[in-house]
Amino acid sequence: MEYHLGIPKLDKVQGGLNIMLIGPPMCGKEIFVNNIVHAGLMNGEGIILVSTREHGEGVLKWFEQSELDIEKDRERFGIVDCVSRTLGMDVSDTQNIKRASSPVDLTGIGVKISQFFEQFYMRARIQKTRLIINSLSTMLMYSNLQTIFRFLHVFTGRIKVADAIGIYVIESGMHDEQTIATLKQLVDGMIEIKEENDRFFIRARGLGSKLTEWLEYEIEGANIVIKGD
Amino acid sequence: MLKTGIPKLDDFMGGEVPPGRSLVYYVQPGVEGDVFGMQTLYHHLMQGGKGIYVTISSAPYTVREHFNEFGWDVGKFEDRFIIVDAYSALVGADSDERYVVSDPENIGALDETLSKAMEELGSGLVVFEPLSTLMDLCGEEETLEYVKKWKKLHMTYNNVFVCNFTAWPYAEETLKQIKEELFDAVVTIGGIAERVIFGQYFGVSKVDWAEVKKRSMLFKVFRPTGIRVYIPKILVTGAYHSGKSTFIHAISSRAVSVDRLGTTVAMDHGRIDHKGFAADIFGTPGQERFDPILKVLGGEAMGVFLVLDSSKPMDFVRAKQMLETARAHGLPYVIVANKQDLPDALSVDELRERMKVPKSVPIVPTVATEKKGVFEAFETLIDMITEVK
Ligand SMILES: Nc1nc2c(ncn2[C@@H]2O[C@H](COP(=O)(O)OP(=O)(O)OP(=O)(O)O)[C@@H](O)[C@H]2O)c(=O)[nH]1
Ligand SMILES: [Mg+2]
């Protein structure tokens, strides 16, 4: 199975792949994530987004504000919201937002991911699913590396079995090298972002795509534009 | 004596959990196993018992809300229910609980707070949710050491000690300790997977105080009401107009039929929710021209009801033939002797005689139009399906 990521020049990746998306703060990682979500929805896939920084409603609002219409695709968009309960917000689950107790509640997060997988694949008969965890960095603030490694070990395995894709966002510069190296063992490829003199560059590794050299990009509104294209 | 309140599970463990014993719900990641500990606790409180809930990954108000999702109001037991809050300090939040662990990453601090709570409560039930998070925070070996210590403590208090444990890929030795050695009883909760997890089951893999009954049950979690043993497919068959559709509607909380001119042309489907069991029940059309549908429906069924119009002996041959068409032999089945209200209805004994039904096959008298006997028929079949052989 093939998946389109919705990032220019990095279009097709194979099902069963686990990908780490790594970049510094303020480089537009959220925009990348949202583009990946949007591309999946447009392709008729099921999307599972584990959100540790933005609560579920906030995620949906971004799409509204960016004038990306996902209204009719919403039932294929499952959000595991790890924020609302942690902040003590008095909100219950909705059709497409399930709330985990906290970012420490890996058991609960795991159950909710599995439930969305089941809902999309068994009940809605959707063949393709992409799982996005945004971000591992927040999870690492609450749990140690080994714990996150075990968690990811389970779900990268499930991604392979389901022929889905998994994308795991992590901040560069926030963790020591060993942390990144340890988690890298679990993924097949990387999408790397770097900043140099206020300019941003992207490249991919291990995804079988052409984008293996650093290319400069800019964020324009909700879009990622590769320069010199 | 403590019952878990989870359908069939108590039967599998010799009826109950004796005081001083420990039980672990050993849960495969991604499977909704946390409800087991909660249901056990709520059931115990409902029976008049006392309980402590140690929360490690959720705020206490989230815990209460989670109970509420199932319709379990733990607020009414405040005099004999304690939450030990081993979470709030972890995220720097305030807590209104009386028992707050100041440093949840220090297992000694938890031990101290828990001991105080137990002193106040006296003997009862202590539920840890989840033990795996404690392990993540405090280390595998250290946690195992404390589990041993708590086990002893619970024995002196005559407590029942219940842990939910998510089986992440910890060291093999750790998993082995949890799964085979440390606890007096182990209930495994897993998922049936094919690309994704689409079904969930539980089964007992160890009990020290009784003979282990190795049998797995499918389950589903409902909101409200909690864990139900789930029977995915029960078939209802029987001759034309014997009362199959009426029976299904009488027994189901929701049901649909596709009927034309008073006869079923496609099939009936109902969802039963009765005494801890949930089942999907499917009816077949009575007319002979629909027999091919019957063959399709017959596959994968877990049990069969054969509905008879007790006043129509000439239909019995057809009825027996339908049972065979459904290839139901080998599956548990119950004969439903319907329309017992009609004046010329045959009694159960007369039916058994006429149809040459062996004693081992139950015949249950019913009046489907008045819902008489229908749940007895269901309970009889459920016993046969879930029986430990
Ligand atoms: N007196 C009496 N009538 C019943 C009873 N159960 C069903 N009936 C009646 O029997 C008729 C047939 O009932 P259905 O439930 O439609 O029977 P069925 O087996 O689904 O019929 P087909 O789908 O056509 O094969 C209806 O008029 C019912 O009201 C009963 O226990 N007593
Ligand atoms: Mg009918």
Q: pLDDT tens-digit profile of B13-49? A: 999 999 999 999 999 999 999 999 999 999 999 999 9
B386 alpha carbon – ligand 2 mean position (Å): 27
> Is pLDDT above 80 for B58?
yes
Going by alpha carbons, the residue nearest to atom 2 of ligand 1 is: B339
pLDDT recorded at residue A167: 97
Tell me what the mean pLDDT of segment A96-121 comes to. 96
- Whether residue B18 lies inside any domain: the answer is yes
CB contacts, 8 Å: B38 with chain A: none
Least confidently predicted of A150-159, B152-161, B337-346: B152-161
| Beta strand pairing call for B196-207 and B216-222 | antiparallel
Is B3 inside a domain boundary? no
What's the predicted TM-score (pTM) here? 0.93
Same domain, B241 and B195: no
pLDDT at B325: 67
Mean pLDDT of A209-214: 78
B255 has pLDDT over 70: yes
What distances in angstroms separate CA B325 from CA B100, B238, B294, one per listed residue? 64, 11, 7
What's the pLDDT score for residue B193? 87
Mean pLDDT lowest among A69-73, A182-186, A187-191:
A69-73
Find the CB nearest A102 among B27, B31, B58: B58
Residue nearest to atom 14 of ligand 1 (CA): B243
Q: Which tens digit of pLDDT belongs to each residue from A66-95?
A: 878 888 888 999 999 999 999 988 899 998
CB contact under 8 A, A114 and B191: yes
Domain closes at, from B184, B209, B224: B224
CA distance B84 to B93: 15
What gap in Å lies between CA B280 and CA B42, rounded to an integer?
Answer: 27
Tens of pLDDT, residues B132-160: 999 999 999 999 999 999 999 999 999 99
**Are B75 and B171 members of one domain?**
yes
Are both B40 and B138 inside the same structural domain? yes
CB B154 within 8 A of CB B119: no
Q: Measured in whole angstroms, how far is the alpha carbon of residue A20 from the centre of its chain?
A: 9
Is the confidence metric ipTM above 0.85 for this complex? yes
Q: Does the residue B121 lie in any domain? A: yes
Show residues of chain B in contact with A85, CB under 8 Å.
58-59, 62
Predicted confidence band of residue B327 (pLDDT cuts 50, 70, 90):
low
Residues B48 and B85 in one domain: yes
- Residue B231, both tokens: 């029977």
Q: Identify any residues that bridge with A55 across adjacent strands, giving them in sequence order.
A: none
CB B117 within 8 A of CB B153: no
Does residue B249 form part of some domain?
yes
**Statement to judge: residues B212 and B264 lie in one domain:** no
Tally the domains of chain B. 2
pLDDT category of residue B381 using cuts at 50, 70 and 90? very high
Tell me, yes or no, whether B171 and B86 share the same domain.
yes
Residue B291, pLDDT > 80, answer no
Mutate to test the pocket of ligand 1, among B252, B288, B369, B374 (most ligand atoms within 8 A of CB): B369
Domains defined along chain A, listed by start: 2-226 (3.40.50.300)
**Residue A137 preceded by cis peptide, ω within 30:** no
With CB atoms and an 8 Å threshold, state whether B29 touches A122.
no
Average pLDDT value for residue range B55-84: 96
Which is nearest to B253 in space by CA: B299, B217, B222, B294? B222
Question: Is it the case that residue B290 has pLDDT exceeding 70?
Answer: no
Residue B277's pLDDT is 96
Look at B193 and A19; give whichever has higher pLDDT: A19
* CA B334 to ligand 1 centroid distance, Å: 18
Contact check, Cβ <8 Å, A154/B62: no
Beta bridge partners of B281: B234, B270
Domain presence at residue B53:
yes
Q: For residue B195, give the nearest of A101, A110, A121 by CB distance.
A: A121
**Which residues of B sit within 8 Å Cβ distance of A?**
27, 29-32, 34, 56-59, 61-62, 66, 87, 90-91, 93, 130, 132-133, 136-137, 164, 166, 168-170, 191, 193, 195-198
Q: Are B17 and B117 contained in the same domain?
A: yes
| Confidence at residue A144, expressed as pLDDT on a 0 to 100 scale | 96
* Separation of alpha carbons A104 and B90, rounded Å: 9
User: Chain B contacts of A154, Cβ < 8 Å?
Assistant: 29-30, 168-169
Point out the least confidently predicted range of A6-10, B80-84, B327-331.
B327-331
Report the SS3 class of residue A29: helix
Mean pLDDT (whole number) for B44-63: 96
Domain hosting B268: range is 230-387
Out of B180, B201, B224, pick the residue that ends a domain: B224
- Please give the pLDDT value at position B45: 97
> Are both B342 and B197 inside the same structural domain?
no
Q: Which pLDDT score, from 0 to 100, does residue A118 have?
A: 94
Chain A residue numbers touching B58 (CB-CB < 8 A): 85, 101-102, 105, 108
Classify residue B1: in a domain, yes or no. no
DSSP H helices in A28-124: 29-42, 56-65, 106-118
Residue B112: give its domain's CATH number.
3.40.50.300
Three-state secondary structure string covering chain B: CECCCCCCHHHHCCCCECCCCEEEEEECCCCCCHHHHHHHHHHHHHCCCCEEEEECCCCHHHHHHHHHHCCCCHHHHCCCEEEEECCHHHHCCCCCCCEECCCCCCHHHHHHHHHHHHHHHCCCEEEEECHHHHHHHHCHHHHHHHHHHHHHHHHHHCCEEEEEEECCCCCHHHHHHHHHHCCCEEEEEEEEEECEEEEEEEEEEEECCCCCCCCEEEEEEECCCEEEEEEEEEEEEECCCCCHHHHHHHHCCEEEEEEECCEEEEEEEEEEEECCEEEEEEECCCCHHHHHHHHHHHCCCCEEEEEEECCCHHHHHHHHHHHHHCCCCCCCEEEEEECCCCCCCCCHHHHHHHHCCCCCCCEEECEHHHCECHHHHHHHHHHHHHCCC
B364 and B278 in one domain?
yes
Averaged pLDDT for residues A171-179: 95
pLDDT at A227 (0 to 100):
86
Are B176 and B288 in the same domain?
A: no
How close, in Å, is residue B28 to chain A by CA atoms? 9
> How many other C-beta atoms lie within 10 A of the C-beta of residue B243?
23
User: Which two structure tokens, joined as six digits, stand for A53?
Assistant: 């920084």
Q: With an 8 Å Cβ cutoff, are A102 and B195 in contact?
A: no
In a domain, B4, yes or no: no
Residues B310 and B206 in one domain: no
> Which of B224, B251, B277 is a domain's end point?
B224
pLDDT in tens, B178-202: 999 999 999 999 999 888 888 999 9
pLDDT of residue A221: 86
Q: Is residue B279 part of a domain?
A: yes
Among A86, A144, A161, whose Cβ lies nearest the Cβ of B195? A161
Q: What mean pLDDT do residues B348-352 have?
A: 95
Tell me the average pLDDT across A198-208.
90
What pLDDT is stored for residue B289 in this prediction?
Answer: 62
Regarding whether B216 and B351 lie in a shared domain, the answer is no
B284 lines ligand 1 (CB under 6 A): no
